[in-house]
Amino acid sequence: MNPEEKTHNRALNVIAAYGAEQSAWPEEERGATLDALQSSDQLTEMLREAASLDRLLQRSARVATLDGAHLAQQIAHRVPQQLTLSQRLSRRLEVVAESLSSDAWKPALAASLTLSAGLAVGSTTYEPVEDWSQAEHYSFTVVGEEY
Amino acid sequence: MQAEEAKLVALVRKGDQRAYTDLVVRHLPAIEVYAKRIVNDDTLAQDIAQDVMVVLWQRSGDFNPDKARLTTWLHRIAHNRCIDIMRKRQREVNCDASDSEYPVVESETATDLQPIDVALMRLPESQRTALVLTYYQNLSNRDVAEIMNSSVRAVESLLVRARGNLKKQLETQL
């Protein structure tokens, strides 16, 4: 088969599969199909037949009736998202990163620093005033008195 | 468009309802009409379209913008749902038919169907799917092959047979 016959046959196939609308033809084959059409009565006749079928296909009466915005709201409110462990982790990390990039963390950090400093100072300087060295002796005394 | 939709899907993954609504408004009509043309039952088709949108909300993390366009991914989910439903329906029809001496009539819920819609419904499922995805949904042959889990060559062959079948059915109107 010579290249011209090959192109002609391919053009036949393209029209038979995709119809008469050039925009429906595979992009990379549009040029070659149009060239083949110019030199072939058979292809022109085939294109005419394909165009009448296309016109019938356009008469289809199917229409969409669902309200997209309403449906989206319903789904988003009622259906929980299913995330994998890694997606959940990355979502948590993003939330932490976002909160760090905003100023909301500053009062919380100030409060926790103050508390930590208070605890640190308290634990190093505090000395108990009670003398517990006699505690054991004292407790035996109390128990002995009971029996 | 593709990059913008990938960004919207990334927002949906984070639970952004506005991005989700935007995507549903864009894609729901095409998915609903596609399902209507495939299953020929308006209520079932709406259920399928809603299911597809639930998947978009729940499992948007499964969508990989590097591998496919969003419309292709959504059509693939719709296609699989349609196939499941039609196979289930076929099993029920076979069961009923074995109990009855009368042939079971194809169900057509819409009464105002055009002859082309009736002719489309008479096509074998794979031919109808290939034609509807290519002609009505404006998807490329590669996208259609991906949705149908097939090759471009096989899709083309289905298209040639589908158009040939339609021509025979609608001969008087051509």
Question: Hey, are the CB atoms on B24 and A72 less than 8 Å from each other?
Answer: yes
Which pTM does this prediction carry? 0.77
Instruction: Choose among A65, A72, A83: nearest Cβ to B61.
Output: A83
For B158-172, the pLDDT digits (tens) are 999 999 999 999 988
For B62-106, the pLDDT digits (tens) are 999 999 999 999 999 999 999 999 888 888 877 766 554 433 334
pLDDT given for residue A112 in this prediction: 87
Q: Where are the alpha helices (DSSP H) in B59-140?
A: 70-99, 115-121, 125-131
For A95-120, the pLDDT digits (tens) are 777 777 777 777 888 888 888 888 88
Question: Hey, are the CB atoms on A62 and B156 less than 8 Å from each other?
Answer: no
Interface probe for A, chosen from B82, B142, B156 (most Cβ of A below 10 Å), is: B156
Burial A69-96 (b: 16+ CB within 10 A, else e): eebbeebbeeeebebeeeeeeeeeeeee
Q: Residue B91 and residue A38: Cα distance in Å, rounded?
A: 50
In chain A, residues with a C-beta closer than 8 Å to the C-beta of B163 are 16-17, 19, 50, 53
Neighbours of A139 (CB within 10 A): 10
In chain A, residues with a C-beta closer than 8 Å to the C-beta of B13 are 81, 83, 87, 91
